[in-house]
């Protein structure tokens, strides 16, 4: 195995994206994705069985496309990396099964890795494929440690202390109910906007006043801070939006959708960044990395830039194409493990829907 600059294929199937990425060391050669999002739209959220079935249909065509794009042969690979958790069980199992089959058929080592840590590893990638991405703020310089990482998507909202990507990642806090993206999706639904809700809320918030309605910031009261300093909660916020909308409707008054969307978004952005910056301050870490699909939110990125600037914190945002779930981040983490001298996983590992973030490789 080439440990200096390994050629790794990464398989990601933890949610609704079938992602195959190919990297050589930290160079991105292919990031190919098929999403079953459209099939979930009518249900207003990801349906696990539909996601698993779509992975089965999509895996082989996506692998074929990724290999063609990278201009390699499967036999050239040094290793296969695969997400083994956390995520949806059935969806994970499809990726894990495919990765094992490929590894055995090609006689290649396999690295079973943690999806959340993969989101952090995404920021190490560089290459021509990313040049068109206007959200790319970083130069894919090596990560400096320690760093705080805030991961926000439809499936997770987690705050991590990363002391070393391949050996020391600690969970500081996470959502105790809905993920932030899920809150966007549910509030969009309350406002009769289609799924996925994030981009819709962004669109209608343009015409709204973020200060019009003071929605609650979950787990930010002094009484919450002892047990939940770095945890998040979005269910109270969602209920508060629902109540506001109902009251207007009951009174026969129009719902000011723009104001509701802008005020809701402001509350989410505020609580995410307040907690992330508190972690930076408490641990004396002047570095913050963002990841996950909700990073597509313009207001979140804007406020993150302003607040980190003011606090003297270096902000890293991976290119947006690598923030949403993808196989390249899994390949990137696999390559980091190989370069750091870690041994492959043994083939008896399985999918683990609740894999703790501290377990970087299984
Ligand atoms: O990382 P991601 O693609 O994968 C899953 O978690 O499945 O994240 C998708 C989530 C959805 O909940 C979507 O509403 C949210 O990210 N999202 C956004 C925006 N674009 C996507 N949330 C807020 N603002 C956006 N512009
Ligand atoms: Zn994710």
Q: Tell me: the pLDDT tens digits for 254-266?
A: 999 999 999 999 9
pLDDT at 139: 57
Residue 46 CA: nearest ligand 1 atom is: 7
Cis peptide before 228 (omega within 30 of 0): no
Q: Convert the pLDDT of each residue in 185-242 to its tens digit.
A: 999 999 999 999 999 999 999 989 999 999 999 999 999 989 999 999 999 999 999 9
**Does residue 12's CB lie within 6 angstroms of at least one atom of ligand 1?**
no
Ligand that lies nearest to the alpha carbon of residue 294, given by its number in the listed order: 1
Q: What per-residue string of b and e applies to 38-57 under the rule 16 or more CB within 10 Å gives b? A: eebeeeebbbbebbbbbbee
Nearest CA to ligand 1 atom 10: 154
Please say whether the beta carbons of 261 and 201 come within 8 A. yes
Query: Which residues are CB-neighbours of 316 under 8 A, at least 6 positions away?
Result: 123, 137, 138, 143, 147, 287, 288, 289, 290
pLDDT at 137: 54
Nearest to 202 by CA among 193, 211, 214: 193
From ligand 1's centre to the CA of 332, what distance in Å?
22
In the structure, what pLDDT confidence band is assigned to residue 326 with cuts at 50, 70 and 90? Answer: very high
pLDDT at 127: 87
Alpha-carbon gap, residue 312 to 287, rounded angstroms: 9
Nearest CA to ligand 1 atom 6: 154
Query: Which residues are CB-neighbours of 12 under 8 A, at least 6 positions away?
Result: 18, 19, 20, 21, 82, 83, 95, 115, 118, 325, 326, 327, 329, 330
**Does residue 155's CB lie within 6 angstroms of at least one atom of ligand 1?**
yes
Q: Convert the pLDDT of each residue in 95-109 to its tens digit.
A: 999 999 999 999 999
Q: Convert the pLDDT of each residue in 133-183 to its tens digit.
A: 655 555 567 899 999 999 999 999 999 999 999 999 999 999 999 999 999
Ligand that lies nearest to the alpha carbon of residue 202, given by its number in the listed order: 1
Alpha carbons within 13 angstroms on the beta-carbon side of residue 251 total 9
Dihedral over Cα of 176, 180, 181, 184: its sign: positive
Q: Convert the pLDDT of each residue in 66-80 to its tens digit.
A: 999 999 999 999 999
Asked if residue 132 has pLDDT above 70, the reply is: no
Q: Which two tokens stand for residue 141?
A: 């310089």
Mean pLDDT of 20-38: 96
**Does residue 326's CB lie within 6 angstroms of at least one atom of ligand 1?**
no
Q: What is the 3-state secondary structure (H, E, C) of 248-313?
A: HHHCCCCCCHHHHHHHHHHHHHHHHHHHHHHHHHHHCCCEEEEECHHHHCHHHHHHHHHHHHHHCC
Residue from 45, 184, 200, 300 to probe ligand 1 pocket by mutation (most atoms less than 8 Å from CB): 184
**Does residue 178's CB lie within 6 angstroms of at least one atom of ligand 1?**
no
pLDDT at 41: 87
Asked if residue 303 has pLDDT above 80, the reply is: yes
pLDDT at 128: 85
**Does residue 350's CB lie within 6 angstroms of at least one atom of ligand 1?**
no
Q: Convert the pLDDT of each residue in 34-66 to its tens digit.
A: 999 899 988 888 999 999 999 999 999 999 999
Query: Looking at residue 196, what DSSP letter applies?
Result: S
Q: How far is CA 266 from CA 197, 201, 213, 274, 304, in A?
A: 15, 11, 10, 12, 12
Provide the whole-model pTM: 0.95
Alpha-carbon gap, residue 171 to 177, rounded angstroms: 16
From ligand 2's centre to the CA of 252, what distance in Å?
41
Please say whether the beta carbons of 350 and 101 come within 8 A. no
**Does residue 86's CB lie within 6 angstroms of at least one atom of ligand 1?**
no
From ligand 1's centre to the CA of 294, what distance in Å?
4
pLDDT at 135: 58
Asked if residue 315 has pLDDT above 70, the reply is: yes
Nearest CA to ligand 1 atom 5: 154
């Amino acid at each position: 195995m080439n440990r200096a600059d390994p050629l790794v294929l990464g398989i990601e199937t933890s949610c609704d994206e079938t992602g195959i990425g190919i990297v050589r060391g930290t160079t991105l050669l292919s990031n190919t994705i098929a999403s079953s999002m459209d099939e979930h739209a009518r249900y207003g959220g990801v349906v696990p069985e539909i996601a698993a079935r779509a992975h089965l249909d999509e895996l082989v065509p996506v692998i074929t496309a990724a290999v063609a794009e990278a201009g390699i042969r499967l036999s050239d690979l040094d290793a296969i990396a695969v997400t083994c958790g956390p995520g949806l069980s059935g969806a994970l199992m499809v990726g894990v099964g495919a990765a094992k089959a490929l590894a055995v058929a090609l006689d290649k080592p396999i690295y079973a890795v943690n999806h959340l840590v993969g989101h952090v590893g995404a920021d190490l990638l560089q290459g021509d494929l990313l040049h068109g991405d206007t959200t790319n703020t970083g130069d894919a310089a090596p990560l400096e440690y320690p760093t705080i990482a805030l991961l926000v998507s439809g499936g997770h909202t987690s705050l991590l202390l990363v002391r070393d990507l391949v050996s020391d990642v600690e969970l500081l806090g996470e959502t105790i109910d809905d993920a932030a993206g899920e809150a966007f999706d549910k509030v969009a639904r309350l406002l009769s906007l289609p799924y996925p809700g994030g981009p819709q809320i962004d669109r209608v918030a343009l015409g709204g006043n973020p200060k019009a309605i003071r929605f609650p910031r979950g787990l930010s009261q002094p009484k919450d801070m002892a047990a939940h300093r770095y945890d998040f909660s979005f269910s109270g916020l969602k209920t508060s939006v629902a109540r506001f909308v109902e009251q207007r409707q009951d009174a026969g008054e129009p719902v000011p959708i723009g104001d509701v969307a802008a005020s809701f978004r402001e509350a989410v952005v505020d609580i995410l960044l307040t907690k992330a910056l508190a972690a930076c301050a408490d641990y004396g870490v002047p570095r913050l990395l963002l990841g996950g699909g909700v990073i597509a939110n313009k207001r979140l990125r804007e406020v993150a830039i302003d607040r980190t600037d003011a606090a003297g914190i270096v902000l890293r945002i991976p290119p947006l194409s690598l923030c949403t779930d993808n196989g390249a981040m899994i390949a990137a983490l696999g390559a980091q493990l190989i370069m750091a001298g870690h041994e492959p996983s043994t083939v008896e590992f399985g999918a683990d829907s609740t894999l703790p973030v501290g377990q970087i490789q299984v």
